[in-house]
Amino acid sequence: MATAYFMQRIIELTDAASDQENIEMVVYNCPSIPDRTGYILGRNKENPLPKILELAHELERQNVDYIAIPCITAHYFHPDIAKAVFVPVGNGIKETAEYLVSAGVKKVGIMATDGTVQMHLFDSVFKDFDIQCVYPDVECQKLVMSIIYDDVKAGRKVNMEEFYTVKEQLFEAGAEVIILGCTELSILKRDYEVGPRVLDIIDVLAADCVNKCAVARPECQSLITK
């Protein structure tokens, strides 16, 4: 679902007057890749990196100009992927930091998988941009994981009260903007009302692709919900 939605956002953010002005995309949607969070946290031993690299090399053979990774937890492997191919590989976390700087945001709340949170994927990049990250407490992080795995991935209805509980806790901790740092949460934003001051990293990834490969619509400059 997240990959299909990512493609949809690229199309929606492209200023195209005809089919021919849209971006050509080669997509490898591979649900058999081992769970990234489980591997990062040591809960399973099957390393997803070999399969990810296999797909990256296949995209390289397809002569693509740019590779995007619409899985935020997989950004844990970004250095390995970027070194393995000659094609530029987008870094959605870095692109998000640059967007936040342009918007004057200094403190953000992160909703993401346990793997992303515990490996400090956002902090490790955001600190170089003088952006502070705040995270849900233990109980609220459990709600985030339940939304991602038990609801969105399972195709079930989301209890939005749980989402709002986490969001409010992050605002109370001083966050100016909430980052949806998992592409399953992007699906939530597509299907439900998430309220103001939310930035979806899928939108940032899509806007990055459009800015590099086509002409962007003005909406690419206004990605934080009002």
Q: Which residues are catalytic?
A: 71, 182
What would the two tokens of residue 34 be? 């081992």
- CA dist., res. 77 & res. 206, Å (int): 20
Cα radius of gyration (the chain): 17
Residue that the structure tokens 């002005």 belong to:
21
Cβ burial, residue 104 (10 Å; 0-12/13-18/19+)? exposed
Buried b (16+ CB within 10 A) or exposed e, 143-166: bbbebbeebbeeeeebebebbeeb
- CA dist., res. 37 & res. 48, Å (int): 10
What would the two tokens of residue 204 be? 């940032």
Count CB-CB contacts under 10 A for residue 40. 21
**Contact 131/108 with Cβ under 8 angstroms?**
yes
Return the SS3 of 106: coil
What would the two tokens of residue 3 be? 């990959």
